[in-house]
A and B are shown apart, each in its own frame.
Chain A
Amino acid sequence: MTARRPAHIMPREKGTTPLDLVIAVMAFLAALALGASLVANRTADSWRAGLAGRISVQVLPPDKGPPEPALSRETAAALAILQNTDGIVHAAPLSQGEILKLVEPWLGQSALVADLPLPRMIDATIMPGVRVDIPALARKLKAAAPDSVLDDHSHWIARLRGLADTVIWSAYAILALIAVATAAIVAFATRASLEAHHEIVALLHQMGAHARFIASAFDRHYLLATLGAAAAGAGLAAALFLIAGSLEYAGVQPVSFLPPLTLHALEIPWLAAVPLGAGAIAWVTARLSVLAALREIY
């Protein structure tokens, strides 16, 4: 004879319940928050990697008189100092085209822009692991090129990291709120279910069922229901991230100076943490709710 699974001790609710819908929506929001934190973290890392070890020197047009030849003279002087500084492996001025491209998001592509007295830029790279005395270098540059400004990007790196951290911690706060809300509605649903099935629970208790046996009938139900609903919500969020990724691939970028809200292939599996976490919360909440209710029975 083949063994078959015994029938569920509690009656099954058929179809999608309001609880399933709420869990799915919350899982969708949680997956969006988690995805946003992943994007923010990756973007902050890439910004930091791109700026760390780089310095730039900006040579501003003089306040009085024509920009040339002062701009060219000071740029050459600054470049010479950078190239002769220990630890700097590369220093090169940006072309006029590169400078125009940098200001394009703010000033556009108008021909008038090229006529503006734009500053000159020198990009320099510091050898990895070498510390360059930035204040001393700034003083030397100031002496040779009075209109130069040295920027080691530390200010920007700190601000970008701060911005990314704000996004990440906001996402974590949203996740925590959603977790608390999930626990609350599962506890409420479990209590309602206990009320609805009071006679069955009382009978099982009377027949000598251990509290954990009765609790397992509820926690298993809420674990499976929550896993299913949360997987649907997180799956929808994953689909949105994939669509955003395909739009980026097609060249559509809604806001040019913000990172695209896309997840890499290796980051998508992280969204599975949402249904797994929701399932664990539901399981623990349902179990504790039933055990607490059973303690009130003689």
Chain B
Amino acid sequence: MVRFENVGMRYGPGPEVLRDVTFVLEAGSFTFLTGPSGAGKTTLLKLMLLAEPPSRGLITLFGHDLATARRGAFPALRRRIGVVFQDFRLLDHLSAFENVALPLRLAGRREEDYRQDVEELLTWVGLGDRMAAPPPTLSGGEQQRVAIARAVVARPDLLLADEPTGNVDSEIGQRLIRLFSELNRLGTTVLIATHDRSLIEKSRAKEMRLVDGRLVELRAQRP
């Protein structure tokens, strides 16, 4: 699904943020990415979601070597990835419903075809009564749930989440993790970057830890 081989990344002439990162995310796996602030977690996610090209090394995504893949193929690859950004990145002029529906709209689906799915998903994340609300009127936790719903609505092949439970209480947090687990059970490969040890301890998922831009595999996925 995702393969990194000796990947390095630096911004401009600065020091390397990631060094010789090598790992494989198998299809259908569930992985936590941990590490202290500034260790390079967000940069690693950016490389995986095709936001930045690596400075060196080889990245293979869905079987495509990104160094040789046509740029024209990138939009289709990106649509196979669901992303929960740390800062949510919701569109303030759209309603919660329209934000969640965005990936389906980009995939060319018509509103009458996806309306029910989006409404059910928003209800499931506890926002059934806030569908028409624009993000600036939602609390931080509500915005986070909209961002998560947007990331999962198109049932992506790969789900990347940067601190997805940072702004919600533990009950909602567990509920969101169950949503990710359910997606994972249906075949989505999940990678969650988090500081929340309680989430990791309750899970049997693999844990990869970044320290000073280098990757250490702490724990393999338990059966």
A binding-site residues for B, Cβ under 8 Å: 1, 3-4, 6-12, 199-200, 203-211, 213, 298
B78 within 8 A of A: yes
- Given contacts A6-B111, A206-B51, A11 and B93 within 8 Å (CB-CB): yes
Chain B residues within 8 Å of A213, by CB: 106
Q: Are B75 and A210 in contact (CB under 8 A)?
A: yes
A271 to B88 alpha-carbon distance, docked (Å): 49
Q: Assuming A199-B89, A298-B50, A298-B52, is B112 touching A209 (CB within 8 A)?
A: no
Distance of A12 from chain B, by nearest CB (Å): 8
* A209 CB, nearest partner CB in chain B, Å: 5
**Contacts A1-B115, A3-B112, A6-B111 known; A207 to B93 CB distance under 8 Å?**
no
Residues of B within 8 A of A1 (CB): 112, 115
Whether A7 and B75, one on each chain, are in contact in the complex, defined by CB atoms closer than 8 angstroms, is no
A207 touches B78 (CB 8 A): yes
Please indicate the chain B residues that have their CB under 8 angstroms from the CB of A211 in the complex: 75
Q: B53 in the interface, Cβ–Cβ < 8 Å? A: yes
Binds A, one of B28-36, B95-103, B136-144, B171-179: B95-103
Known contacts being A3-B110, A11-B93, A298-B50, is A206 close to B78, with CB within 8 Å? yes
**B95 surroundings in chain A (CB, below 8 A):** 7
Contacts of B78 in A (CB 8 A): 205-208
Q: Which residue numbers of B lie inside 8 Å of A, CB to CB?
A: 49-53, 74-81, 83, 89, 91-95, 98, 101-103, 105-106, 110-112, 115
Residue of A3, A12, A207, A210 touching B102 (CB-CB under 8 A): A207
Q: Which residues of A contact B81 (CB under 8 A)?
A: 208
Q: Verify B106–A7 contact, CB threshold 8 A.
A: no
- Distance from B207 Cβ to chain A, minimum over Cβ atoms (Å): 26
The listed residue with most A CB atoms (<10 A of its CB), out of B49, B51, B91, is B91
Q: What residues of chain A lie closer than 8 Å to B110, measured between beta carbons?
A: 3
Tell me, rounded to whole Å, the shortest Cβ–Cβ distance linking B136 to chain A: 12
Cα distance A213–B103 when bound, in Å?
13
Can you identify 25 A-B contacts, CB atoms within 8 angstroms? A1-B115, A6-B98, A6-B101, A6-B105, A6-B111, A10-B93, A11-B92, A12-B93, A200-B91, A203-B89, A204-B106, A206-B49, A206-B51, A206-B83, A207-B78, A207-B79, A207-B103, A208-B75, A208-B78, A208-B79, A208-B80, A208-B106, A209-B75, A298-B50, A298-B51
> In the complex, A207→B83 CA distance in Å?
8
Report chain B residues within 8 Å CB of A205.
78
Residues of the A chain whose Cβ atoms lie less than 8 Å from the Cβ of B111: 3-4, 6
Q: In the complex, what's the smallest C-beta–C-beta distance from B105 to chain A, in angstroms?
A: 6
Residues of chain B with a CB closer than 8 A to A10's CB: 93
How far apart are B47's CB and chain A's nearest CB, in angstroms? 10
**Which of chain A's residues have a CB closer than 8 A to the CB of B51?**
206, 298
Is B91 touching A207 in the complex (CB atoms < 8 A)? Answer: no
Q: Is B91 a contact of A203 with CB atoms below 8 Å?
A: yes
* Residues of the A chain whose Cβ atoms lie less than 8 Å from the Cβ of B89: 199, 203
Q: Of B92, B94, B106, B115, which contacts A207 at CB under 8 A?
A: B106
